Amino acid sequence: MTIDDADLLAYVDRTLAHARAADIERAMHESVDIANRVIWLMASKFPYTEIVGRQSLPALPVALRLRIDRLIAAA
């Protein structure tokens, strides 16, 4: 059974036929390399931008803001 990146991407996207998905799952149990490739592909699909975009950041301290303004003005 040959498994290529297209198969792994389809597995991660859940668009693979059930029988082929079962092949991938068996291969992941047998091969650390295939399991790691699937892990990396799953991680690359993580919605980082969406999650970080919702993060609220603390206000910039006034002293730091003034110092930055002075540095910018001097540039």
Mean pLDDT of 26-54: 87
CA distance 12 to 28: 12
**Residues near 48 by beta carbon (within 8 Å), at least 6 away in sequence:** none
| Segment 45-73, tens digit of pLDDT | 877 677 777 778 788 999 999 999 999 99
Domain boundaries, the chain: 5-74
Q: Where does the pLDDT of residue 29 fall: very low under 50, low under 70, confident under 90, or very high at 90 and above?
A: very high
Q: Give me the pLDDT at residue 57, please.
A: 79
CA distance 46 to 2: 27
Q: Give me the pLDDT at residue 54, please.
A: 76
Alpha-carbon torsion (56, 61, 67, 70), positive or negative: positive
**Assigned token pair, 66:** 């003034």
The answer to whether residues 8 and 34 touch, using CB atoms and an 8 Å cutoff, is yes
The DSSP code for 1 is -
Mean pLDDT taken over the chain: 90
